[in-house]
Structure formats: C-alpha cells, structure tokens
Amino acid sequence: MLWLVFLPLRLFCCLLSLPLPLVAQTVPAYNTRRTTLDQRGMQVLSAWAVGNVAVSGARYFATDGPEKYFHQMNVGWGVVNLALAGGSLLAARRATLPTDQAGTVKAQLRTENLYLLNTGLDVAYVATGFYLKERARSRSTQRQQERLTGYGRSLLLQGGFLLAFDGILFAAHHAHGKTGLYPLLSHLEAGPNSVAFVAKL
C-alpha cells in the first residue's frame, strides 16, 4: 500500500512544478496564481480519494482480519476527502477574489494558517493510529484486536499522506507569498496616520 502514498505525492510535486501564469505584477494576478495553486492541490487530493475508494473498496470484499478493517477505514477517508476536495473546487469557481492589498494579505495568511492547522491535525491522526495499534494488544477478543489494528494502520497511512500533503501546500503557499505578494507590498510605507506609495526614480 505504500505506492498509494508515493504515487499521489509524486503527482503532487509534478503539479506544483508546472509553470504558473507569469510572475504576478498586480494583486489580482497574484490572487489568480494563489487560487491555481490551491486547485492543483485539490486535484491531487481528489485523485488520492478516488484511489482509496476504488482500491480499498475492491479489497474490502477480498480480505479479512485487520486488512479488511484497514480497507474499510480507507474507504471512509476517501469519501470524506473527495467531498472536501470537490467542495473546495466548486467554491473556488464561485469565489470572488480580493482586488485590494489588505484583502489579499488577509487571504494569504488565512490560507497559510489553514494548512498549518491541518498539519497539526494530521500529526494527531498519526498519533491516534499508533495508539489504536497499541490498544489492540490489550483487547479481549480477536475481532476487537483486528478492528483496532486495521483502523490504526489506516490512520497511519491517511495521516501520513495528509501530513505530507498539507506540509507541501503550506510550503508552496508560503514561498508564493514571499516571492509574489511581499514584493508587491514593498512599495508601501506606513506612517503614524497614513500609508504612502513609494516609487523609485
């Protein structure tokens, strides 16, 4: 099942390496590039979700023991991830992008903070996976042991993938802000009661 992690992550890195529109010279252009980056991420998450539903959905009926519960949990994760990714892609089409610098900075920070928060949740998923695997050893029945073991393995897989996914997206957005947004803001100087645009002569 490790290929299920490395294949989408490789695809993800390839998507991120594709050239975005030309370097942003204006705030609207920057926001368009930021949205494109998010959409590429959601496409990878959708592919990951579909792969989980398809592969684990088929394997669920062909396996037993811990592996059966492993695939059962993977299907559940796949359905949730597909709903989240699909909803995000639909929302992006309807969203009105900010056209001012203050709104753009707010959107940039909100995006980065969202991926940081998700990274923290991903660590919790992985920790829960280890906990369930350990907890399985003390269960009194074989069925309980198998269920907790399978669910624990699934959490390790899903949490590990999402940890890498959210970490890469955070890094990509942070780099995008550093190279695309902050140079746009460098022409502003703030005073006690005013903000001035500074142009080099």
pLDDT of residue 12: 56
Q: Which two tokens stand for residue 119?
A: 């990274």
> Residue 17: what residue type?
S
> Residue type for 174, please?
H
190: three-class secondary structure by DSSP: strand
Residues 94-110 have pLDDT tens digits of 888 988 888 998 999 99
In terms of DSSP H, where are the helices of the chain? 3-17, 27-60, 66-94, 101-136, 142-176, 182-185
- The contacts of residue 126 (CB under 8 Å, 6+ apart) are 155, 156, 159, 160, 163
DSSP state of 147: H
> What does the pLDDT read at residue 76?
97
Output the pTM of the full model.
0.81
| CA dihedral (128, 132, 138, 144) positive or negative | positive
Q: Which residues of the chain have pLDDT under 70?
A: 1-25, 184, 186-201
pLDDT, one tens digit per residue, over 44-78 is 999 999 999 999 999 999 999 999 999 999 999 99
Single-letter residue type at 36: T
